[in-house]
Structure 1
Amino acid sequence: MRVILLGPPGAGKGTQAQRLVERHGIPQLSTGDMLREAVAKGTEIGRRAQAVMDAGQLVSDEIVIGIVADRIDQDDARKGFVLDGFPRTVAQASALEGMLQERKLAIDAVIEFKVDEQRLVERIEKRARETASAGLPVRKDDTPEVFHRRLREFRQATAAVSPYYRDRGLLRQIDGMAPVDSVTAEIEDALKGRVGA
């Protein structure tokens, strides 16, 4: 089972990705984590990424796809994987599709979390207040200013990825504002007809 989770920051992708990991025994692939791991291990692609970052530049799609390719070739990803927060652009989606085709693989389903942005902002602000009142450090991403910027970035780049997958018959939209267990049930229902879930 190869699944992509799409949606704005704070929509619950990470929570639902973990539930898919537990239920189906497949790894969650986060490009940020994979990038850090490749750099730490000093792989060829990791060294290329490190050189780009040291120069203060963004890592190219080619390098990110290389890191994803290296990761899905590992044993634990043979049964499938959950991609959380990637691809972020149509160019990345196209490159991912090409890389998977080279391996005679394909994405089984793309789940998009539809959300009410105002309620999402309120959810993030509430999380920040609860974290602060518990005496814990608030995530940098949970400040209203940063969160609004991330939402704008999502709308500008990532929102175009949905039509790409809709045109391929892979996209299923779910209500990301529903209770967590309801979202999980809706995801499992969406996967039933697409993969051996």
Structure 2
Amino acid sequence: MLNLVLFGPPGAGKGTQSQKLIEKYQLVHLSTGDILRGEIAGGTALGLEAKKLMDQGLLVPDEVVIGMISNKLDANPAVNGFIFDGFPRTVAQAEALDNLLQSKNTAISGMIALEVENDELKKRLLLRGKDSGRPDDQNPEIIQKRIDEYNNKTAPVANHYKGQQKYQGVYGIGAIEDIFNNITAVIDQY
């Protein structure tokens, strides 16, 4: 089973590359952002709580996210694998994900990290905010807070996977197809 963590700061291109990887490798996409936005759109209690936190650029509690991921894994027992987009975001989440996958007799195959400079991230997110209507992509202060959250809490997750020799950085600026080809060259080594 091919289980990938697609990693990078907000605006690095994870969503764009995820779609291409899903098609090529026939993976199930597990985007915690999409799962949470679905809960928000559905007006569930979890969705309302998550919206409050997300609108402030903060993270949703680990146990909630791990529970949602476990349900998604159980709902897709006979697949080629999963691509984790936007998760794990903390070392604690990475450890919880490793434990969850181990309990299901599988593991993370590798982490692909899209590397993009902060100025480019801000530019991409503001452009996306104009098109998507997402409030967290329209406010420069919230964008900066999200990037800071990533740098302070999420970037250390890379060390978790480096320690397992599962980390590979890929430069995330350039033509979408070139970035995709660089990612697939890494994946094809697994």
Normalising by structure 2, report the TM-score: 0.83
Q: 1:181 aligns with which of 140, 153, 177?
A: 177
**Superposition deviation, residue 122 in structure 1:** 2.9
Q: Look up the equivalent residue of 1:155 and give its one-letter code.
A: N
1:74 matched to 2:75? The reply is yes
Q: 1:150 aligns with which of 128, 146, 152?
A: 146
C-alpha root-mean-square deviation of aligned residues, in Å? 2.7
**Superposition deviation, residue 63 in structure 1:** 2.4
- What is the CA–CA distance in structure 2 between the aligned matches of 1:35 and 1:122, rounded to whole Å? 24
- What is the CA–CA distance in structure 1 between the aligned matches of 2:40 and 2:119, rounded to whole Å? 37
Partner of 2:61: 60
TM-superposition CA deviations, 1:109-144 (whole Å, max 9, x none): 10001111123223334555xx4xxxx564321332
Equivalent residues, number: 181
Alignment of 1:74-153 (within 5 A): 74-75=75-76, 78-127=79-128, 131=130, 138-140=133-135, 141-153=137-149
TM-superposition CA deviations, 1:71-119 (whole Å, max 9, x none): 0112376321111000010000000000100111001110001111123
1:192 matched to 2:171? The reply is no
- The alpha-carbon distance between structure 1 residues 21 and 143, as it changes in their structure 2 partners (threshold 3 A), is same
**Superposition deviation, residue 53 in structure 1:** 2.9
Q: Look up the equivalent residue of 1:186 and give its one-letter code.
A: N
Alignment of 1:40-59 (within 5 A): 49=46, 53=49, 59=60
1:75 partner SS:
coil
- What is the CA–CA distance in structure 1 between the aligned matches of 2:14 and 2:5, rounded to whole Å? 10
1:20 matched to 2:16? The reply is no
- What is the CA–CA distance in structure 1 between the aligned matches of 2:127 and 2:64, rounded to whole Å? 37
- The alpha-carbon distance between structure 1 residues 121 and 77, as it changes in their structure 2 partners (threshold 3 A), is farther
Q: Does the Cα contact within 8 Å between 2:8 and 2:14 map onto a contact in 1?
A: yes
TM-superposition CA deviations, 1:16-36 (whole Å, max 9, x none): 001111112212111233346
- What is the CA–CA distance in structure 1 between the aligned matches of 2:97 and 2:63, rounded to whole Å? 10
Partner of 1:161: 157
- What is the CA–CA distance in structure 2 between the aligned matches of 1:148 and 1:163, rounded to whole Å? 23
Which stretches in structure 2 are left out of the alignment for 5+ residues?
Answer: 54-58
Q: Look up the equivalent residue of 2:165 and give its one-letter code.
A: G
2:155 partner SS:
helix
Q: Look up the equivalent residue of 1:96 and give its one-letter code.
A: L
Partner of 2:5: 4
Q: Does the Cα contact within 8 Å between 2:33 and 2:86 map onto a contact in 1?
A: no
Q: Does the Cα contact within 8 Å between 1:35 and 1:67 map onto a contact in 2?
A: no
- What is the CA–CA distance in structure 2 between the aligned matches of 1:137 and 1:12, rounded to whole Å? 15
